[in-house]
Structure formats: C-alpha cells, structure tokens
C-alpha cells in the first residue's frame, strides 16, 4: 500500500489506516478477541501501518486489544490514541470531559501501559474541553513529546479557531474528524485551514458509518447497543431519503468493476494527498475490500462527475443527536 505523510511533522503512514473502535464498542457487542486480533494482524500483513484507538473505546478494552494484536509488529506500525473524557478507574463512563494537564499526563501513562509500548505515535484530544484553555492542553502534550512519551499531537472534531490556537503552542500533526461523501462540511472551513498550517487530516467514518457500503437500507435493523439507533441520519426515513448517494456510488462502481465502498474511499483519497481515512471493520473480507479502495484510481472526469452529482443531493438528518452535536466544532 502507498504511504502518505500527515502534516509537516513527518508522520508517514499507509494511505488507509484501520479504525479499531467498532471491535470493542459503538456498533453492537464487542467482537470475539481472537477474531479481532486476526483482523488487525491481517491489516498489517496487507500493508496497513496506522491504527486508531482511544481509552474511551470499551472503555480501555480497545487499547488492550490493539496493544496485544500489534505487539509483534510494533516497530513497523503507528498507533494513535486519545484522551479527554472522564472515565472511572474501572472503566466507568462518568460523563463529561477532562483535559486538565495533570489528567492528560495520567491518561498517557495508562495508555502506554495498556498498549504495551513506550511511546504513543499520535495523541489526540478526543473532544475540545471548554473548561480548559487549548493552550494548556497543547502545552501538556508538548511536555509529553519532550519527555519522549508521545511523538505527535492531534485534535479531534475541533473548530478552526481552536486548531489555530493549539498549533501556535505545539504543532498539530493531524486533525481527526468525520468526512466522506456522507458528510462534507469540513470542505468549507477546516480543510483550507489544514492546508495553510500543514496539518494532516484523518477522516473517521469515511464510509458514513457503513451507509456508503450499500449494505444498509431503510429496513436494516441495528443491534440494541448500536450507536446508530440514536443518530438522526440513521432513522428509517433518513436512510430512505439518503439512498440517492448510495445509488450514485453504485453507478460509478459498476462502471469501474469496484464496490461502492471502494469508490467512496478512492474519492476521499483523491481530495488531498495529506488525507488518511481510517475505515473500521470486524471482518476480514471487508478489510480486503476497503484496502482495494486505496488501489482504485479515479480519473479527473470520474472525480468531477461524482462531486457534481453529490452536490445535487441534499442529505437528510443530523450526524449526531443533540447532546453529542454540542461537543463538535468548538
């Protein structure tokens, strides 16, 4: 798989990473441990070198899984994890945010232990904490970098002003936010800023939380613990209305002898050379399919056709319920 550089901090990773959250939480019951380790190791064997986790995934379970799975390959891969939520010592979700410098440093130590490593390649603030100045957050991560415990600083779902302020204290290597043909808002303000500052972009949910695969329709039933049950964009009515974007991808995929997911990922990769999507999966055949998207070359005409057609589609439903919507773009 081809390599890409995230930001001006010289973090080189595979063109596609692997988002590991869904192996432990978010999309229904956690996957069986041995099967999930097999998927992560198959990703390494296929050329993926960038793996995304967070302490809140589980909580804690996903970092432990990723650490165990990647232990034999640690020197050849890059691991990203995140801090910023309030979590009890036994993994209790306490609610709310905590990006106080002392807490950031404590999370770093705990994450290093769970991941079984002596350095975190990319350490993101998971959500902007309005009670802690971003300069203090950036300063705490800067100290972790100086101590050799972290290599690169990242932000997730941050707004433009916050990104600029943080970058002035400690250069931000990457921003992680949602971006796909299912959610294109970052194109307006965020991507021009990232280009200006030399910051890489790591889109999560690059397949629209599974919707762009074409395997979900208005009749799909999700597990009771699946996050998508509370997402306005995933109501049956919204799914029916939003089928138009899947139909668009299907039409292109048939012509290119590809799948809708591969077209969606290839489109994303073609937007900027500093974009590294992190599709997640718990299935070996989906891993192979997604990786095929990195090898799919879309022509300039293909890209113009896809973008022009997508511009005419008005997608229905917010991407988060109200209580989570307020945590983004600050």
* Whether the bond into 59 is cis, omega within 30 of 0: yes
* C-alpha distances out from residue 59 to 26, 54, 113, 154, 198, Å: 11, 8, 14, 20, 32
Contacting residues for 198 by C-beta, under 8 A, at least 6 apart: 7, 8
Q: Catalytic: which of 27, 57, 124, 179? A: 57
Q: Which two tokens stand for residue 43?
A: 């990703």
Q: Which two tokens stand for residue 152?
A: 């690169």
CA 214, 219, 225, 230 torsion: positive or negative? positive
Instruction: Quickly tell me which residue has 């939520």 as its tokens.
Output: 85
Active site residue 57: yes
- Cβ–Cβ < 8 Å for 156, 83: no
- Cβ–Cβ < 8 Å for 256, 176: no
CA distance 125 to 101: 11
Known catalytic residues?
Answer: 57
């Amino acid at each position: 798989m081809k390599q890409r550089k995230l930001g001006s901090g010289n973090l080189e990773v595979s063109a596609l990473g692997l988002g590991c959250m869904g192996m432990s939480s978010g999309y229904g019951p956690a996957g069986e441990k041995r099967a999930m380790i097999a998927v992560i190791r198959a990703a390494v064997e296929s050329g993926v070198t960038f793996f995304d986790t967070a302490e809140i995934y589980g909580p804690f379970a996903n970092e432990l899984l990723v650490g165990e799975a990647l232990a034999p390959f640690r020197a050849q891969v890059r691991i990203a994890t995140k801090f910023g939520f309030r979590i009890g010592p036994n993994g209790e979700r306490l609610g709310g945010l905590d990006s106080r410098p002392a807490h950031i440093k404590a999370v770093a130590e705990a994450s290093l232990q769970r991941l079984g490593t002596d350095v975190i390649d990319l350490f993101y603030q998971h959500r902007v904490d309005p009670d802690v100045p971003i300069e203090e957050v950036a300063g705490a991560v800067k100290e972790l970098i100086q101590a050799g415990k972290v290599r690169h600083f990242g932000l997730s779902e941050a707004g433009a002003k916050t990104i600029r302020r943080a970058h002035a204290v400690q250069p931000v290597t990457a921003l992680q936010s949602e971006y796909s043909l299912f959610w294109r808002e970052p194109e307006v303000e965020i991507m021009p800023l990232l280009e200006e500052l030399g910051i890489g972009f790591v889109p999560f949910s690059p397949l629209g939380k599974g919707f762009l695969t074409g395997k979900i329709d208005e009749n799909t039933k999700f597990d009771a613990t699946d996050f998508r049950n509370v997402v306005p964009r995933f109501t049956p009515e919204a799914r029916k209305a939003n089928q138009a974007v899947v139909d668009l991808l299907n039409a292109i995929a048939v012509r290119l002898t590809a799948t809708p997911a591969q077209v969606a990922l290839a489109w994303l990769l073609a937007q900027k050379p500093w974009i590294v999507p992190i599709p997640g999966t718990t299935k070996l055949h989906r891993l192979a399919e997604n990786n095929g998207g990195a090898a799919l070359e879309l022509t300039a005409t293909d890209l113009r056709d896809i973008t022009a057609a997508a511009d005419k589609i008005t997608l229905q439903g917010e991407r988060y319920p109200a209580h989570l919507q307020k945590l983004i773009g600050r």
